[in-house]
Structure 1
């Protein structure tokens, strides 16, 4: 019975390892999908550098990481240029 317990334990460890590998592969796949989606969007908007925030699919704010700051700059631009 002790040998059977050891075999069962090894099989369970193998199953746990296999589950972790599958989860890791799934996460990597999702990461790659996200990366290529972002690459496609960057090309569609013809972005020239990062960081870049696209507003209303028409305006790009470069060099800003904060959405709040980008929106502030965009509104300021609209006021000055009467857009």
Structure 2
């Protein structure tokens, strides 16, 4: 967030492995090209800090996936 790493992890630390997730999901539905499986968040969420840290308008969040790239999202106030 804003150039500071808040969370850094990989799928090796997930509670459930990717093949297990896919098997469980496809037992009840068909995954189509482009479907996204949300797996949750690694340690380091803002509510766990003291004091708590939350996103504010003007913040920039970056998410990077190796071999894919980086997605940058500005935080805006929609009110």
TM-score class, shorter:
under 0.3
Greater fraction of residues in strand: 2
Greater fraction of residues in helix: 1
Give the TM-score normalised by structure 2.
0.20
Give the TM-score normalised by structure 1.
0.20
Structure 1 or 2, whichever has the larger Rg, is: 1
